A and B are shown apart, each in its own frame.
Chain A
Amino acid sequence: MEDNSEVLMNYGIDKKPKLLVIALACTLLIATFASRSLAATDTSALGTTQQFVNQALQILGNKQMPIPQKQAQLRTLMEPRFDFTEMSRSALGYHWKTLTPDQRANFTAVFKSFMEAAYLSKIGDYAGQTVDFLKQTSLGDGYAQVFTKINQATKPPIPVNYLLEQKDGSWMVYDVTVENISIIANYRNQFNRVINENGFDKLLADLKAKQQQLGVSAAG
């Protein structure tokens, strides 16, 4: 960040034409503000992902914080980032159409709590892994894929990709691919089997039972 008065003095305002100096100052001002605003709010899919992942890593890496507090902070951080309704719809596949709006909302809430319990209960395993943000590609209008890689100490890196959609101007995640396996597609197969064999209510019951087993308290 330049102090523009110094720039003006360096160029010897007394000796150079005033117009040239003013033009130069304006260019520098614009350049300075433009780069600052880009760095502060990179609203691309990659930028959004980078932000929340790095913040999550900070929380995970905080050795002083007790685990329940980490879980609470991670919940708050991630809440606006994941489109849980879209994930539920995608995971239920054609079964979604057979549900009433109440059933859909209920399922979304149950799936959310289950996922929270499953993933937040493992944060104690965090062992200083770092993340490389590789690139983003566009999947069409308002959809993007962000490629990242988790580096581990003695093992090969794990490719993790995020699929994001743009909703009201901000990017939200609707699927995560770990080692080239889409999590939502995997759940789609599981949910389809459970619904076909035992019905939708059994699926809800199974999700709730699994969440209990995992023992992390729900956000409520």
Chain B
Amino acid sequence: MGRIVKGKKSSVIIAALAMFSFASPALAQDKMPPHPPGENSQVYSDPLAGFNEKMFWFNLKLDHYVLHPVASGYAAIAPTPVRESVGRFFNNVNFIPRFVNNTLQLKLPQAGGELARFGINSTVGVAGFFDPADHWFGLKQSDNDLGLTFGRWGIGNGPYLVLPFLGPFTVRDAVGFAGDSAMWPLPYFVPWYVSLPTDAGKAVMEAVNYRSLHLDLFEQVDRYAVDLYGAVQDGYMQRRAHALKEVEQ
């Protein structure tokens, strides 16, 4: 569930400031003005739309009836700094895909930075609850994942794909997500009847914690959208296009 909310985060934070008021009787020119590169200025073919839309509404209902209520209750009892620390803990523990993918993309300073961040935050940062690597040493996080690695290797997105519980992907990003998930070390060291419930618990806690820090996510998208599915789809695709552009620099 952590995946579903992360995918929606950026598509949604509409600034309090974006005021629009209009009525310009300007003549429509024949040529289209330029949009900056990295933007998805095409419409998406979405061949899996039948499946995707069902999954989208399933996820939305799951969020509405389960995740959001639980996260709200959690937010009511746990103060924000506590929940932010928990978020940092999970972020720290999930460093391996960032390290591996920065290495695969030959971004060695960033890979080294991730390793250093893990070392510093796990020790000085008290098991990752704090982030002295950033605040004291200026070591910023270098977000990266296998989907972006595939993108840099020239693999196209493939069709848009919405998975239950997990949220929006493309086929490429879904394969990447599976690969990144396989980098989680616990299942390799303990029997499945230990790792499976632990990892399920971890996934739930991560999702609830993240959602509790972004409680009005869907309300924001819904307010401004006439087609929620389309808004989320485009938000995801634009966000990924931008992320790919960022790691290519």
Q: What residues of chain A have their CB less than 8 Å away from a CB belonging to chain B?
A: 53, 56-57, 60, 74-86, 89-90, 93, 104, 112, 114-116, 118-120, 122-123, 125-127, 129, 131, 139-140, 143, 145, 150, 154, 158, 160-161, 163, 165, 167, 172, 174-186, 188-194, 203, 206-207, 210, 214, 219
Question: How near does chain A come to B227, taking the closest CB pair, in angstroms?
Answer: 4
Q: Tell me what chain B mostly uses at the interface: helix, strand, loop, or mixed.
A: loop
Given contacts A85-B28, A176-B18, A180-B10, contact A193 B229 (CB under 8 A): yes
Given contacts A179-B10, A186-B234, A203-B226, contact A119 B19 (CB under 8 A): yes
A78:B35 contact, CB within 8 angstroms: no
Complex CA gap A178/B14 in Å reads: 7
A122:B16 contact, CB within 8 angstroms: yes
Complex CA gap A180/B11 in Å reads: 9
Q: Which of B21, B34, B238 contacts A185 (CB 8 A)?
A: B238
Question: How near does chain A come to B148, taking the closest CB pair, in angstroms?
Answer: 15
Complex CA gap A104/B223 in Å reads: 24
B249 CB-CB contact with A under 8 Å:
no
Complex CA gap A203/B17 in Å reads: 26
Question: How near does chain B come to A36, taking the closest CB pair, in angstroms?
Answer: 30
A75:B44 contact, CB within 8 angstroms: no
**Inside 8 A of A127's CB, which chain B residues have their CB?**
16
Question: How near does chain A come to B233, taking the closest CB pair, in angstroms?
Answer: 6
A83:B26 contact, CB within 8 angstroms: yes
B10:A116 contact, CB within 8 angstroms: no
A85:B17 contact, CB within 8 angstroms: no
A118-B224, A126-B16 are known contacts; what are 18 more A-B pairs with Cβ within 8 Å? A78-B21, A83-B26, A84-B23, A84-B24, A85-B25, A85-B26, A85-B28, A86-B29, A90-B32, A93-B43, A118-B223, A150-B15, A158-B13, A174-B33, A177-B36, A180-B38, A185-B39, A190-B225
